[in-house]
Structure 1
Amino acid sequence: MTKTKQPAMKDGIIKRGSTYSYVVRERDPETRRTKPRWVGGFRTREDAKRARDKARNDVHRGTYVPPKDLTVGDWLDRWITGHAVELKPSTVASYRRCIDLYLKPKLGHLQVQGLSPSTLSGVFRDMGMAGGRNGKALSARSVEYTRAVLRKAMADAVVERVVEVNPVTGSKSPRKQGKPKHVTWTGTQQRTFIEAATESRWWIVWALALATGMRRGELCGLEWSHIDLDAATLSVERSATQIGTEIVTTDTKNHENRPVALDPYTVTALRAWRKQQAAERLQWGPAYTVSDLVFTWESGARVRPHYLTTQFVADQDGRGLPRMTLHGARHSHATTLLREGVPVHIVSKRLGHRDPSVTLNVYADAIPEDDTRAVDVFTRAVWGA
């Protein structure tokens, strides 16, 4: 019986067929023992030698990332499952939607360790051109959000030694076509809407949204214990998010409670609403759903965030106003204050922004007349005219 001659190995490199392979000893992090791993597919001996030298150097420095047969789709599934416990349910739902709609269809079949900035730049470019529904263009904001989710996932892949470097760093996303323009209402338009919308059960929600700039989830999570009508203040402490049919209550977006002062009109409106709610509780008796929530149905059942979004638009019918989303009430509040000269840091606190720079970045175009106002102030201060 003739023995098959084994290919000769030299300096840890061997030729198998038409390609070269090298061997490196990996250290098991638990047992601290080493074991050999063969890595192949190199076109020349020199290519294999360079890869071998780098691998051995990385092993010595403790930065070695062993080759893994892991797809992007598998890694994203593993990543979101492992990090769900530390993220808000709404964030997890948003990440999962981004992964399922955009990342897995475009990248899921690729090897994690085969990703490169140039490859990703091409994918993000294609998303911007035809990554939306029915092959339509996907907004630059959506592409950037998708890129941000992948960047987070790959940053954790670096930490877990799945990849050596984050391939999203250095990739390019489509050029933004300026900042998105927010539809807002003037003070007069806000008053017109509130006075006309009192026929709707939820006019009090619209009034508070316009008066405070609170987010939809914050409105739905607001409790009477958070409001001091005598002091004309409320504290934004909780946020309610709808995920499918389930409503989840969590901390606010930046995990901070913030006080918000109320105007006399809104205080009066809230007092009337509390009396109405108390009367409904008596009328329903034992069937009433008891809670401390400010905004409920006649039965005490909580109102769903998605419903408020739809109803706010419906309540605008026939008012002759620019069509605006519920989140537009937040923009309207901020824009009104900034145009009337309220300092940015005060507006930032009312909105719950982490830093006034966020407010400036979003609403810089809300105060186009400021330069003229600055000249007027300077003239009066210096020249007395």
Structure 2
Amino acid sequence: MGAGKIYKNEKAKKNPYWFQIMVNGKRVTRRGFRTKGEAQKARDELSTQLNKGEYIDPSKALFRDYFLEWLENRKNLADSTVDMYDSYFRNHIDPALGKIPLSKITPTDILNFIKTLRNTKTKSGENLSDEMVKRVYSTVNTALNSAVTMEIIQKNVASKIPKQDKPKVVRQERQIWSNDSIRVFLKKTKGETRYWIAIFLAVMTGMRQGEILGLKWSDIDFDKSVLYVRRSLKKDKTGFTNLKTASSRRTISLAPYTIMLLKEQQEKIAMEKEYLGDDYQDNDLVVCTSKGTPAKATRVLHAWNRLCEKFKPEHEPRITFHDLRHQSASIMLNDGTDTRVVSGRLGHSTVTTTLDVYSHLIPTAQENAAVALEKTLGFNVEQQQEFLQ
């Protein structure tokens, strides 16, 4: 058994490190490590297993065991993403594929897995949404792709199923309100709940709910009129989690009225802190309970739903708290804001993501562009008729 050198693929765009080690006279290769340290750790763990006689050929291991090890080694994932994958595994993947050896999974197994997902009922008695089916399938597909990259198996059987059988999602336009409706709603509801500021920030910044609940006063630079998105509050309120991508850690400019309301919020919290004294648990949070503790997501959603029941305009559709993020994007795009700016404020990884989600708003922007071209060149209808004569 050789100790195994650590190599680096200079042409690889990501996860370039790999190693080889001799196992029972056979050269075993493991690829796809983000850093040299991760590759060394994996090599040392494999060597330890060999020395103790505990080594099991990964291709012969159950998919359950492979998946859990794969998930544990994905150090670059946000905590929320790991929790999501773990939920997919426990509720859907393990019951269907967990007991099958990794090397024995077939395209038929994947097809049956997709069929099972589509027939799975939620707590409300409805089938899983197409989006959820695709997410769970994509998780399995990603795990199998990694097994191929690591040279544990030769091919990803999930990629072999016919294209028409793979889960698809027909993107639906997000429901949003008119600008007048959201403006009137915000004015009428101010002061109705301590969590109103979270609703206001969702519209004015496009931040996700967890990002708003994880926002601290130290993240706001009042002199520069910006805030820094640095963390997200976990849904179970047990702590903060890292953001998904580098683009999620972003700087958002704030307008004067938003600055004024944030300072007003800061004064309210200062008064609560002074009133409770030592009983106040100061977490430096912009949105918090009256005792200073993190605001549970369900409590904020309850406040939002209660306000909608009382103040929602009759002619407007019912929307969720998360739709306020889309409301923010809609206002900016319809107002002609550069898509790159919108993408940056929302924390999307690429402008393509923004275009995919909000493509239905682009025609409006193109109409504005067409009018702007004529206006800039000094043409109007009368001039056009004169020109054509």
Q: Would the TM-score normalized by the shorter structure come out above 0.5?
A: yes
Residue in structure 1 matched with residue 6 of structure 2 by the alignment: none
Equivalent residue in structure 2 for 1:81, among 66, 72, 85 = 72
The answer to whether the aligner puts 1:131 opposite 2:126 as a matched pair is no
What percent identity do the matched residue pairs reach? 26
The answer for the alignment partner of 1:354 in structure 2 is: 349
Scaled by the length of structure 2, the TM-score of the pair is 0.76
Matches within 5 A, 1:298-337: 298-321=290-313, 322-337=317-332
Query: Matches of 2:337 and 2:227 in 1, distance apart?
Result: 20
| 1:245–1:207 distance in 2 versus 1, CA, 3 Å | closer
Q: Retained in 2: the 8 A contact 1:238–1:252?
A: no
Structure 1 residue runs of 5 or longer lacking an equivalent are 1-27, 36-64
Alpha-carbon distance in structure 2 between the residues aligned to 1:117 and 1:379: 56
Whole-Å separation in 1 of the counterparts to 2:94 and 2:23: 35
Distance in 2, matches of 1:288 and 1:245, equals: 17
Give distance in 1, aligned partners of 2:141 and 2:371: 47
- Match 2:224 to one of 208, 220, 231: 231
Q: Report the Cα offset of residue 340 of structure 1.
A: 1.0
Q: What secondary structure, in the 3-state scheme, does the structure 2 residue paired with 1:326 have?
A: coil
Q: Indicate whether 1:120 and 2:110 are aligned.
A: yes
Distance 1:32 1:176, change over 3 A: closer
Amino acid paired to 2:121? G
1:99 aligns with 2:89: yes
SS at match of 2:153: coil
1:209 equivalenced with 2:198 (yes/no): no
Q: CA separation in 2, counterparts of 1:68 and 1:349? A: 42
**Equivalent pairs, count:** 326
- Residue 253 (structure 1) shift: 3.9
Q: Does structure 1 residue 254 correspond to structure 2 residue 246?
A: yes
Greater percentage in strand = 1
Q: Structure 1: how far apart are the matches of 2:77 and 2:336?
A: 37
Partners in 1 of 2:279 and 2:301 — Cα distance? 27
Shift of 1:161: 4.0
Corresponding residue for 1:110?
A: 100
Say yes or no: does 1:150 pair with 2:140: yes
Further displaced range: 101-110 or 196-205: 101-110
* Cross-structure match for 1:44: none
For residue 107 of structure 1, report the CA deviation from its aligned partner.
Answer: 1.9
Provide the secondary structure at the position in 2 that maps to 1:29: strand
Q: Alpha-carbon deviation of 1:66?
A: 6.8
Q: CA deviation at 1:247?
A: 2.6
CA deviation string 1:238-261 (max 9, x = no partner)? 22222x452333246436532211
* Unmatched segments (≥5 aa) in structure 2: 1-19, 28-55, 381-389
Q: Is 1:143–1:174's contact at 8 Å kept on the other side of the alignment?
A: no
- Assess if the C-alpha contact under 8 Å between 1:313 and 1:323 holds in 2: no
2:78–2:241 CA contact under 8 A, matched in 1: no
Q: Aligned equivalents of 1:31 and 1:298: distance in 2?
A: 60
